[in-house]
Amino acid sequence: MNKLIEDFLKHKEVVKGTSKNTSIIYGNHLEIFFDFLKKKFNSKDIDIDVIKKVDSNIVCDFMKSIEKCNKAVSRSNKLSCLRSFFRYLKQTKQINENPASDVDSPKIGQRISKFLSVDEGKKLLSVIENKRDYAIFILFLNCGLRLNELVNINLSDISDNKLTVIGKGDKERMIPLNKTCIDSINDYLQTRDDKLKALFVDSKPDPVYNKKIYSRITDKHIQYLVKCYIKKAGLNSKISTHKLRHTAATIMYQNGTDLKELQTILGHVNIGTTSIYTKASNEQIETAINNNPFNIGG
């Protein structure tokens, strides 16, 4: 990896508390940008002297070059990464100006997030017979966990009917567990015969010693389970683990959870991120119109 990128990512992780996953994404964005600069300046490598030649026009050229293969959201993320990178170089006195600061972000149209209704959520749960899988989906739908947060739960993280979660940037938060969560976890734990510290484990046969080999369940396995159970329940095939998080958040908000409380439950740093769940459903909008006191004949 280029030293400029490496130093920037170290700064983000150490000073800003950026997660490893975010660092990987930022690194990929910058590698793409550096490849563009190599062609632009006919250079084998990118050092600070090359970076000093970058102005807003070159950043605009880069953004234009990725239009065909990147949606607006992806282009916006790459521009945000460049702004952060150049801001770091300016703060460390390596450059004088941030050439990405005045470049306009791509316009991102508002999208209605897909999530399950309460009835669809119950239908999904009804097709799950495996106790481990049932507990996984119960936590998704009740606690609004991120996929990696759920995968990394240890048995010791559950105490006094509360779950301690390590979220983005290694930030810790505590989520109360309702009776359904507690019961589903206890039912699942009664089926366990291993001594791993992970809450959710997977197993495979060991043909040599004729026994099971246990390990922490993986992200990919849970994504596979979601795909299988969504199909089995006959629901929208685009529902993913993240959409299950959306489902939990949206239904909590629609049932009276305060926006600030929801921010804490979900582990959002910015309440603006949480506000995407406040968009009213079509049914809520229709009810509001019908209940208007000026609906004389309603």
110 assigned to some structural domain? no
Active site residue 188: no
- State how many domains the chain has: 2
Kindly name the residue from 88, 245, 246, 253 that is annotated as catalytic: 245
Confidence of residue 254 (pLDDT cuts 50, 70, 90): confident
Same-domain status, 71 and 135: no
Residue 295, pLDDT > 70, answer no
3-state secondary structure of 233: coil
Both 47 and 125 in one domain: the answer is: no
From CA 35, how far away is CA 65, in angstroms rounded? 12
Helix (H, G, I), strand (E, B) or coil at 205: strand
User: Which entry of 87, 146, 192, 227 is annotated as an active-site residue?
Assistant: 146
Residues 70, 153 within the same domain = no
- My answer on whether 73 and 133 are in the same domain is no
Structural domain containing residue 27: 3-91
pLDDT category of residue 114 using cuts at 50, 70 and 90: confident
Residue 146 annotated as catalytic: yes
pLDDT band at 113 (very low <50, low <70, confident <90, very high): low
The pTM (predicted TM-score) of the whole model is 0.65
* 105 domain residue, yes or no: no
227 is a domain residue? yes
Query: Is residue 269 one of the residues assigned to a domain?
Result: yes
Are residue 123 and residue 266 in the same domain, yes or no?
A: yes
Q: Strand, helix or coil at 175?
A: strand
Q: Are residues 139 and 279 in the same domain?
A: yes
Is 195 tagged catalytic?
no
- 277 as an active site residue: the answer is yes
> Any catalytic annotation for residue 268?
yes
Residues 167 and 270 in one domain: yes
Catalytically annotated residue among 38, 168, 216, 221: 168
Residue 279 is given by DSSP the state P
The answer to whether the CB of 59 falls within 8 A of the CB of 27 is no
Count Cβ atoms below 10 Å from residue 297 Cβ, excluding itself: 3
Q: Tokens in use for 135?
A: 């507990």
